[in-house]
A = this chain, B = another copy of it.
Amino acid sequence: MDEIELIKLLTRDLPGNDRVVVAAGDDCAALKGETSEELLLFKTDAIVEGIHFTAETPPEKIGRKALARCLSDIAAMAGSPTAALVTLALRADFDPARVESIYLGLNKLAREFNVAIVGGETTTNPGGILISISLLGRVESSKITLRSTAKLGDAIFVTGELGGSIDGKHLDFEPRLTQARWLADRFPLNSMIDLSDGLATDLKHVLDASKVGADLLSSAIPISRAARDVKARSANGKTPLSAALSDGEDFELLFTIPSKHAVPLNDTWKKQFPDLKLSCIGKTTETLGLRIRDRNSIHPMAIDGYVHFKKP
C-alpha cells in the first residue's frame, strides 16, 4: 500500500464539526474564527532523517527546511503565518550542539516571517531525527485560495523555475508568502497550490479537485539550471523537461486565474518581482486529464511525482 492509498483509506470518514471550512485534502485546513471575516489556517508537516535530509545536511538548513515547507502551504492558501509548535524526535544519544543549530535555522526563518515559536515537544525516536512542525495562520475569508476551485478557461501560472531541487534548493527555498499575498490582494485567483510533489502531480491535484483538465505548452515550462545540469540528469535518466515536470520540492506556487487577467498580471508582476520568473504554462480544459503540447503534437502526460511507501 503506498501513501496515496493509505491516505484514501484513513480520510474516508474523518470526524468534522461546525468550525470546519476546509477539511483534509488541501494545503492547509481552514477553520472559522470568531467572526466571519477571517479564517484560521492549520497545517502540520514532518521531515525525517534519511528521507528529507541526511546526517550530512547542515543542521541550520534542516531546521529552516522544516518550517519553510509549512510556510509554503500557508502561502498556497494566500494566508499569513502566525505561530508554530515544534516536535523534535531524537535518538537517545543526540548531539546537543546539532539540535541547537537546527533550532537556530528554524528560529531565523520564523523571525523573517514574524512567526512565533510557542512551544512544542522533544521525545526519543530510535530511528533518528524527525521534526514535525504545526503551523497556524490566518486569511481573509474572501481571499482564501483552494485546490478545488479552478475554472474552465483559466490560465495556469507557476512562479520560479522548476526541477532539480535536490541539488540544493530544497534546503534554501524561499516560501512564496509575499508573492501569494500580493497576488490574492490584486487578482481574482481561482485556485492555488504549492509545488511539493512535482508540477505534474500537484497540478493533477488541482485538476482532480476542480473537475477540469489542462493543456500545457512544453516550451513554456520554466526549467531550472539544476534540471538542465547534464551530469545530474544522466544520473537519473530524466530529460530537463521531465525533471521540471516531475521533480519534487520546488515549493513554487502554481495558480490559475481567468485568462483575461493573464497579460495584466504578467506586466505588473515583472515590476513587482523583477527577480522571480512568472510563467503562463497552459490553460484549463473541459476534457479531463493532463496533456502536454510541443511543436509537433499533443499527448497525455505520465504522472511521476514522489510517493512515500512506494513499492520498487
Binding site for B on A (CB under 8 A): 1, 3, 6-7, 9-11, 13-17, 19-20, 22-26, 28-29, 31, 33-35, 37-38, 40, 42-46, 48, 50-51, 82-83, 85, 87-90, 92, 94, 96, 99-100, 103, 107, 110-111, 114-128, 130, 132, 134, 136, 308-309
B121 touches A125 (CB 8 A): no
18 additional A-B pairs beyond A125-B125, A126-B127, beta carbons within 8 Å, are A1-B94, A9-B96, A10-B100, A10-B103, A17-B116, A24-B118, A29-B118, A34-B35, A35-B35, A42-B83, A42-B85, A48-B89, A51-B123, A87-B132, A89-B130, A94-B309, A123-B308, A126-B128
Asked if A24 contacts B117 (CB within 8 A), the reply is yes
Q: Are B136 and A89 in contact (CB under 8 A)?
A: no
- What residues of B have a CB within 8 angstroms of the CB of A33 in the complex? 33-34
A196 to B34, CA, bound (A): 31
Some 21 contacts from A to B, beta carbons below 8 A apart, are A10-B99, A14-B107, A15-B107, A15-B111, A17-B114, A19-B116, A23-B119, A29-B85, A31-B136, A34-B35, A42-B119, A43-B85, A44-B87, A44-B134, A48-B123, A87-B132, A124-B308, A124-B309, A125-B130, A126-B127, A126-B128
